[in-house]
Amino acid sequence: EAQVTQNPRYLITVTGKKLTVTCSQNMNHEYMSWYRQDPGLGLRQIYYSMNVEVTDKGDVPEGYKVSRKEKRNFPLILESPSPNQTSLYFCASVLTSGNPGELFFGEGSRLTVL
């Protein structure tokens, strides 16, 4: 089954404790991206990756890091989380060849930073 898998789905942590949210897709998609969703703000792009070893900043990259060492994985790293990073995070992927295809979203990871 084609899917984007995020882990963990729920996490409560404390300020300053490094954490990683993993994202994996099984569709051989080139493009992967991270978004955060906050009430009244829609989804805002954090980082995206056009392919392996190619990443770029989205609209709200501050406080986040990413890496793309393998095509299927695109982890989101919070080196020193702060309460303003409390949010619902989504990973998405898409096959970029030709027309922009359907963005496949993960189920979301709800992060609370105390």
Closer residue to other proteins (CB): 16 or 68: 68
E strand or H helix at 89, and its extent?
A: strand 87-94
Binding residue for other proteins, selected from 7, 52, 108, 112, defined by CB under 8 A: 108
Question: Quick one: which segment of 11-19, 34-42, 63-71, 76-84 binds other proteins (CB under 8 A)?
Answer: 34-42
Tell whether residue 105 is a contact of other proteins (CB under 8 A): yes
Task: State how far the Cα of 14 lies from the Cα of 114, in Å rounded to an integer.
Answer: 5
Shortest Å distance, C-beta 18 to other proteins: 25
The two structure tokens encoding residue 113? 């930073």
Task: State how far the Cα of 103 lies from the Cα of 90, in Å rounded to an integer.
Answer: 11
